[in-house]
Copies of this chain bind each other. A is one copy, B any other.
Amino acid sequence: MTIDSDIMFETFLRMRAETVETRLRQLLGESPLSGEIARPGHLMAAMRHGVLNGGKRLRPFLVLESAALFDADGEAALRVATALECVHCYSLIHDDLPAMDDDDLRRGQPTVHKAFDEATAILAGDGLLTFAFDIIADEATPLPADRRAALVLALARAAGPGGMVGGQALDLDAEHNKPDETGIIKLQAMKTGALIRFACEAGAIVGGASADERERLAEFGSAIGLAFQLADDLLDLTADAETMGKATGKDAAAGKATLVSLHGPNWARSQLVGLVNQAHDLLEPFGERAIMLKAAASFVAERNS
């Protein structure tokens, strides 16, 4: 009997997600760490609400599988993966705020400012972002200090004003000043691409990869980041809200141009094929060991929720 490789990948992704979720739950507990004065229960509950939401944990998966290519320390990779997920979830909490996208639901659950209040949601996001750097820099992440510092720097650069936060700012601006194709590509590379690129590059840093290998993983990350966004734009156009667990058709409603709205779904589907091929080619030097990362690239391009 042949087992369906998609089902096999999704099962493996879910297993990894459980490992990440367990660690996130533990890290976001209420016992203060050394040097912390106290962890207010209400704030920690809001942080957990924003993080422990049944996400697919795609970015942590990419960190873990990229790290595995280089026989990296598993505990170090897991901590970096959880830190990245904290950054991703902080960005969702702030993005959902009334002043930003004003979303009431995320994965079918009330967003943090709905379940708590706006002020608590702002602080929960701030707390998660700050804590992400704590997790990486801590000596409990069993890596030489130069790698911990390199990871902090790469994450800050991917998430900061020249990366994700900058992309969110461009996205706000796009409602008034419609970007052209080049502008859309830049916006998306920053808003969603930078963190996915970091996920793959981070595995290489954790594993002490060479500069060439690190660049190769980063390029792999860029390719699937692009694929992720194209698939997202396709889904926004074609899926219904129930499947997605959040509002769809929002781009069109907001008058936001995407590459899919410019070029149409068929163009997007053919781009996706090209990006997956490119991503797979980048992993050729790693042979069979890269099979889960290759499957991740296909999964990202073909996902339907």
Contacts and interface: CB of A to CB of B under 8 A. Distances in A.
Most buried by B among A32, A153, A168, A190: A153
Interface string A143-172: 011101110111111111111011111101
Contacts of A47: 161
Interface residues of A, number: 65
Contacts of A154: 35
B38 A165 contact: no
A172 B119 contact: yes
Contact of A35 (B37, B125, B157, B172): B157
State the number of copies, please.
Answer: 2
A287 interface: no
Interface stretch (A49-57, A133-141, A234-242, A254-262): A133-141
The 9 A-B residue pairs with the shortest CB-CB distance in the complex, in nearest-first order: A36-B162, A99-B118, A134-B156, A43-B169, A145-B146, A130-B160, A137-B152, A137-B153, A127-B161
15 contacts: A35-B162, A36-B157, A36-B163, A37-B163, A39-B162, A43-B165, A43-B169, A120-B172, A123-B168, A125-B126, A130-B160, A131-B161, A133-B155, A134-B157, A145-B149
Interface of A: 32-33, 35-40, 42-44, 47, 90, 94, 97, 99-100, 117-120, 122-123, 125-127, 129-131, 133-134, 136-139, 144-146, 148-150, 152-163, 165-170, 172-173, 186, 189-190, 194
